[in-house]
Amino acid sequence: MNPVLKLLIDGGSLSTGQMAAVLGLSDAEVNQHLDQLKKDGIFLGWRPVLDLSREAAAAAAVRAVIEVKVTPERGGGFNRFAERIARFDEVESCYLMSGSYDLLVFVKGASLQKVASFVSEKLSTVEGVLSTSTHFMLRCYKEQGFLLEGGEAQTTRLNVAP
Partner 1 sequence: MSTDPKRWVAGHVSTLPKSGIRDFFELVAKMKGQDVISLGVGEPDFVTPWHVREAAIYALERGKTYYTSNLGLLELRREISRYVEEHFGVAYRPDDQVIVTVGVSEALDLCFRAFCNPGDKVMYHQPCYVSYHPSISLVHGTGIAVPTYARDNFALTAEALRAAWQPGAKILMLNLPCNPTGGTCTREQLEKIADFCREKDLLVLSDEIYSELTFEGTHTSIASFAGMAERTIFLHGFSKAFAMTGWRIGYACGPAVLIDAMMKVHQYAMMCASIIAQEGALEALKHGWDQVLKMREQYHRRRDLIVRRCNEAGLKCHLPRGSFYAFPDVSPTGLTEKEFAVGLLEQEKVAVVPGTAFGENGRGHVRACFATAYDQIIEACDRIDRFVQRAGRGQGASG
For residues 2 and 41, the answer to whether their CB atoms sit within 8 Å is: no
Q: Give min distance, CB of 158 to partner 1, in A.
A: 7
Told to check if 24 binds partner 1 by CB under 8 A, we report yes
11, 18, 111, 143: which one contacts partner 1 (CB under 8 A)? 18
Spell out, one character per residue from 100 to 139, where the chain touches partner 1: x when CB under 8 A holds, - when not.
----------------------------------------
1, 10, 74, 100: which one contacts partner 1 (CB under 8 A)? 10
14, 34, 116, 126: which one contacts partner 1 (CB under 8 A)? 14
For residues 94 and 102, the answer to whether their CB atoms sit within 8 Å is: no
In the chain the first and final C-alpha atoms are separated, in Å, by 37
Binding residues for partner 1 restricted to 30-59, rule: CB under 8 A: none
Q: Beta strand pairing status for 91-96 and 62-70?
A: unpaired
- How far is Cα 3 from Cα 18, in angstroms, rounded to an integer? 13
Using CA atoms, how far residue 59 sits from 1, 51, 62, 92, 147, in Å, is 39, 9, 8, 16, 17
Q: Based on CB atoms, which residue is closest to partner 1, 49 or 130?
A: 49
Task: Give the binding site for partner 1 (CB under 8 A).
Answer: 10, 12, 14, 18, 21-24, 152, 155, 157-162
